[in-house]
Amino acid sequence: MTNLYSFCSFCGGTLVTEKQHFKCSKCSKLTFRNPAPCTAIFLIKANKVLLTIRAIEPFKGMLDALGGFVEPNESFEDAAIRESTEEIGFAPTNLEYLCSFPDTYLYQDVYYDVLNVSFASYMDKDIEFEPNDDVESVKWFKYDEIDFNLVAFDSVKKALKFVKQKLK
């Protein structure tokens, strides 16, 4: 795996791991290893939760939550609404904070540290979703119907335990 932080962005010197950050071997400036914020949103309808089937790597074909990376100048809530709109053409309005878990995301041979913040949103009517973007399709699941071996990310597996409490 490639290390995301190999060289100092100030002077190009080699970075050395020091606790939770990196120190430049030439200019001594620190590079911080902050996780990338990302968000998951779980639509809930009575006793069911909506999960997606991933259209792209990593974990293509596996189960995931709606959501994705927070962009500059966005709140977690804004990101959750934007991602849901991009992925299924539906903008949830009543977000409820559920939980947050650290995780990793493998992309182009690099493991990125992420911090996944999860929300629930409740709906009572049927809506025709339009899967798009990195979502192949979506499906409603009762909790007991979810095969956790097919869930792509650990943070989503952990968040689903919180979702369980919210299902009727």
> Cβ closer to Zn ion: 16 or 46?
16
The least distance separating Zn ion from the CB of residue 4, rounded to whole angstroms, comes to 16
The least distance separating Zn ion from the CB of residue 21, rounded to whole angstroms, comes to 13
Report the candidate in 137, 122, 129 with the shortest Cα–Cα distance to residue 45: 122
> Cβ closer to Zn ion: 8 or 70?
8
The least distance separating Zn ion from the CB of residue 15, rounded to whole angstroms, comes to 8
> Cβ closer to Zn ion: 12 or 61?
12
Contacting positions for Zn ion (CB under 5 A): 8, 10-11, 13, 24, 26-27
The least distance separating Zn ion from the CB of residue 6, rounded to whole angstroms, comes to 12
> Cβ closer to Zn ion: 5 or 162?
5
